[in-house]
Structures are given as C-alpha cells and as structure tokens.
Structure 1
Amino acid sequence: MEEAGSGAERRVVAASNAAFEEDPPPYSPPDPKSAQPFPVLFHPQPHPHPLSYTASVGPPGTGPPTAAQQLPKDSMVESVLVTLFCCPLTGLAALLYSHETRAALSRGDVARARVASKKAQTLVLLSLIVGLFVSFSWVVYVLVALYW
C-alpha cells in the first residue's frame, strides 16, 4: 500500500491482484473414494518371549529350569498394593523398579532385570515395614490418648 500526496490531500493507492478480483470457485468436498487413509504410525510387536517366571533361558528341551535359569520376578502387584495402602513414597520407587524389571525382561536383558527386581523387592519390603510401623504407632497413639 502506498500513500500519495501531502498535507490535507491524501489518497491511498492500493495494488490489485488479478487472481482475487472475481468470485472464488464453488466449494466441492473431496471425493471420499480418493482420500488416502491415515498412516499407521505404531505397529504393535509381540514381546520376544513371554513374561514367565519359570521360562528357561537356554535352548528348549534342556530339561527343567534351574534357579540360575529362572527369570526374575517383577513385583508389580506388590508394588501397587504397598503404594496404595502402606507408604506411597517408597511404593512409587518400587513401582518404577518393577516396571524397569518388566522392560528389561521384554528386551531380553536378564542381568539388568535381576538387579531391578532385587531393588523392587527390597523397596516393597521397606514400604510394608514402614506402613505397618506407622499404622501400629497410630493405633497405639489413639488408644493412649483415649484411655490415659
């Protein structure tokens, strides 16, 4: 846009665009048969092995699994329960290590799964002990306050 003139006489000179002087063409919706479907961004893959606690790590047919061949247990259920009912802080940490155990097992990293499983079980036990201690202390406090 340009301004021409000076003082009291000012006029505005606008540039025109030949493409927009006429009415736009009528709108027609796209043909649904020619529309492309949305691309699939996620293809779920099955886990390389099931999350079984007694599955053998060695080749199949080598006999029953020994203690060294058993997969570590993820304490997911126990972690959720102690998080809800005992001690949420250490319960959440146990929940994270339980998830790490499952993730390591799904990757096939048994050594890291064993370490995470041991930490999760330790935190579950700690949460349970702290939760029971706090509950027992509260009951004793209430009884002493009521009957003393």
Structure 2
Amino acid sequence: MAGHAAAGPAAQGAERGLPAAGTPRQRGDGLVVVAAVTNAAFEGDPPPYSPPDPKSVHLLYPPFPAGFSQQVPVVYQPGPGPGPFPPPGVPPAPLPYTTYDGQPSTGPSPAGHGQPLPKDYMVESVLVTIFCCLLTGVIALVYSYETRAAIGRGDMAQANVSSKKAQSLVLFSLLFGLFASISWVIYVLVALYL
C-alpha cells in the first residue's frame, strides 16, 4: 500500500496516458493537468465570535495615567458679558454697503460712487424673442435675468458684464430679424412678379 501511495500520481498519470514528470512533451500529447492549491484556513464556516477576555482588557485599553480625572477640562472660563461695540472712544465707521429701512436713503446708491445702474434689457429681450430670433432672444433673456440678479445682490461688475452681453444679443437678434423679414419680402415679390 505504501508503494502504491508513493507512485500514486505518476501511476495514475500513466494509466490515463499522460507522460511522467520530467518526460519531454511532444506535440499531440493529451490533456494538460493543472494543480490547484486551496487554502484550508478559508474553507467552511468562520469561527464563532467571542468577546475579548476581561482579564486581558488592560492590554487593549491601557489605564488612565495617575492623577487624571475623567472630567473633561474646561478650556474657556466665561467672563463678564460683552462690552459695547465699538469700544468707547472709537467712532463708528461708515458701512461698505447701504441699508434699507423703508425710508429713502441719502447715502450712496447701490451702484456706488453715483454711477447709474446698468440696464437689464428685459423688455427688449422678450420682444426680440417673440418677433425676431428665438434662439438669440432666449439667450438675451438669460443674460437680462442675470443682470437683474446681480443688481439685486449688489454685484455691479457682474451686472455690467451681463448687461453688455444682453445688449449685444438684443441688437444681433433685431438685425437678424430685420434681415430675415426683408429677405422674405424680397423673395415673395420676386416669386410673384417674375
């Protein structure tokens, strides 16, 4: 039996018609045997969970150092209430923005330094969208709305940029609509009378 076990794989390979180990393979030899190794540690069910041993808990969680109280230290000790703001003797500075309390303001305008507010071209954008060119009119509407929103939040730089884009798109839409209308009238006249 021991001899059979020692010659097991080679004898089984010879019975199946496979060449023995160390024998050079030739073209036309039969099947190729591939050996697979499995990890026995990962076969079957995992071991049941067991909580850590209470006797070894000091190894997992070391004790607090000597003299340490388990109370959280207070970092900020509250003092007396806050004093007046600004402190006495400091004059209040002008605000960098305007406040609105329902009364007309005598301060600077939201555009700053007396500059007029940029025009939003909303009405013009709606008209050229309906009558001239739908695509560029809708884009002009978007920039008109963006101008209004920028004015509302006080961003005058963005409002000026959006206003210029809305103005140029309104002008382009108007010119394109006029060109298309005049071209259509000429085409109709030529088609009818020639």
Instruction: Please name the residue that 1:106 is paired with.
Output: 152
Instruction: Please name the residue that 2:180 is paired with.
Output: 134
Structure 2 SS opposite 1:74: coil
Distance 1:89 1:131 in 2: 11
Aligned partner (choices 106, 109, 114) of residue 56 of structure 1:
109
Ranges in structure 2 where 5+ consecutive residues have no aligned partner: 1-98, 101-107
Ranges in structure 1 where 5+ consecutive residues have no aligned partner: 1-47, 50-54
CA deviations 1:74-97 (Å, max 9, x no partner) are: 000000000000000000000000
Distance 2:164 2:111 in 1: 22
TM-score by length of 2: 0.43
Give matches, 1:60-75, under 5 Å: 65=114, 69-75=115-121
Greater fraction strand = 1
Structure 2 SS opposite 1:141: helix
Give matches, 1:36-47, under 5 Å: none
Distance 1:142 1:100 in 2: 40
Instruction: Please name the residue that 2:130 is paired with.
Output: 84
Read off the aligned partner of 1:97 and give its amino acid letter.
Y
Are positions 1:96 and 2:142 aligned together? yes
Sequence identity (%): 66
Instruction: Please name the residue that 2:167 is paired with.
Output: 121
Residues paired across the two proteins, number:
89
CA deviations 1:45-89 (Å, max 9, x no partner) are: xxx77xxxxx83477xx8xx3xxx111000000000000000000
TM-score by length of 1: 0.56
Which of the two has higher C-alpha Rg? 2
